[in-house]
Structure 1
Amino acid sequence: MTDQQEQPAVPQAAPAPRKRRGLVIGSIAAVALLGAGAAAFAGAGHFGHRGMMRDFIEYRTDRVLTDIGASDEQKAKLKTLVSATIDEVRPERSERRAMRDEALKLLEAPTIDRAAIEALRVKHVAEMDARSKVIAKAIGDAAEILTPDQRKKLADELEDFGPGDGPGRW
């Protein structure tokens, strides 16, 4: 006999069930979020020029729509929707710069004005909320353009989108 007691087996957690991807918002997010959301708060920064960002978004939108079997008519409608949404939600460089300058001014002040910091936060959260409403509307509009099967394929395409367990094709 040994001094060690036999430990009961620890049950292994069952693999999580595959997430339901048939929801309209989840399945159509690429069209609106790739297009509008990606550009909504992006500056020229990493892409060097605003036109390059728009070109990239248009390219990715076309690729994903081709991959899900969208017709030319659907592509035209969705590209117009994405472009219009980007134009509506993307803040101008001067707006982004003004927010940055306001934040820096508050940071440099000899005394901390928490009320002013909070007011700045509230102001910009309200602006982001207004933009997110435009994006949500675009998602619904885009979902109406695609068929349920295309939305399912889009969800499959998006599985590798964004941060996750490893590099995706995006």
Structure 2
Amino acid sequence: MSIFNRNTIAAFLLGAALAAGAGAYAVDRHLNSAGPHSAIDATAHVDRMLKHMYVEIDATEAQKTQIEPLERQAMQDLLPMHEQLHKAHAAALQLLTAPTIDRAALEAARAQNLQLADQASKRLVQLIADVGDQLTPAQRQKLAEHLAQMHGHGRGMHHG
């Protein structure tokens, strides 16, 4: 495998991970808002992100038909994990504010958070691979370039 191909794959994975992070942030905002429509709002956000991605990579109708169920299933799988992680985080904060620090309980909370994060990470990697299988190498390159620019990793983009 050439360095260019490795860099292309790395850029795609980095971009997809960053996009997933942005999606997780949006899901977090929706899950933390009041009301029963949080999951619906998060789904609408993912739909908007997908439509934008489709334009960026010139996705065919057949690709859209293949990708949308993959994204929806991943969202169904990830939302409960996110809720569990949010609850575990709140429990850990309670432990930290208790009159006495329970080190064993903090360690158990840490281990639980790591396990949930690992499960979510594995699911995201599965999604990235599944979606990548539906795209051409040129489309994956376009997506990686777009995501890198969106997240400040492209030329002329600076954090600050």
The Cα of 1:72 is off from its aligned counterpart by 0.5
Instruction: Work out the CA distance in 2 between the residues paired with 1:79 and 1:143.
Output: 13
Consecutive unaligned residues in structure 2, runs of 5 or more: none
Query: Cα 1:107–1:52, aligned 2, differ >3 Å: closer, same or farther?
Result: same
Could you list the per-position Cα deviations for residues 34-84 of structure 1 after superposition, in whole angstroms to 9, with x for gaps in the alignment? 368723862426776522222122111111112211101101211211111
Q: What is the match of residue 15 of structure 1? A: none
**Counterpart secondary structure, 2:99:** coil
Instruction: Work out the CA distance in 2 between the residues paired with 1:139 and 1:104.
Output: 32
Instruction: Work out the CA distance in 2 between the residues paired with 1:46 and 1:163.
Output: 27
Query: Cα 1:29–1:108, aligned 2, differ >3 Å: closer, same or farther?
Result: closer
Aligned-CA RMSD value: 3.3
Alpha-carbon contact 1:81-1:142 (below 8 Å) kept: yes
Alpha-carbon contact 2:81-2:120 (below 8 Å) kept: no
Instruction: Work out the CA distance in 2 between the residues paired with 1:67 and 1:94.
Output: 31
Instruction: Work out the CA distance in 1 between the residues paired with 2:109 and 2:57.
Output: 42
Bigger shift: residues 136-145 or 93-102: 93-102
Structure richer in helix, relative to its length: 2
Could you list the per-position Cα deviations for residues 93-137 of structure 1 after superposition, in whole angstroms to 9, with x for gaps in the alignment? 863563244224312322111121111011111011011101111
Q: Which of 122, 125, 145 is equivalent to 1:136? A: 125
Q: Which of 91, 113, 134 is equivalent to 2:102? A: 113
Larger CA Rg, structure 1 vs 2: 1
Q: Which of 30, 42, 51 is equivalent to 1:44? A: 30
Q: Which of 88, 103, 107 is equivalent to 2:77? A: 88
Could you list the per-position Cα deviations for residues 112-170 of structure 1 after superposition, in whole angstroms to 9, with x for gaps in the alignment? 11121111011111011011101111111111110011111111211222356448xxx
Alpha-carbon contact 2:16-2:144 (below 8 Å) kept: no
Alignment coverage as a number of residue pairs: 149
Code of the aligned partner of 2:127: A
Greater than 6 Å deviation, 4+ residue runs: none
**Counterpart secondary structure, 1:85:** helix
Bigger shift: residues 33-42 or 114-123: 33-42
TM-score (norm 2): 0.74
Instruction: Work out the CA distance in 2 between the residues paired with 1:56 and 1:137.
Output: 21
Query: Cα 1:68–1:91, aligned 2, differ >3 Å: closer, same or farther?
Result: same
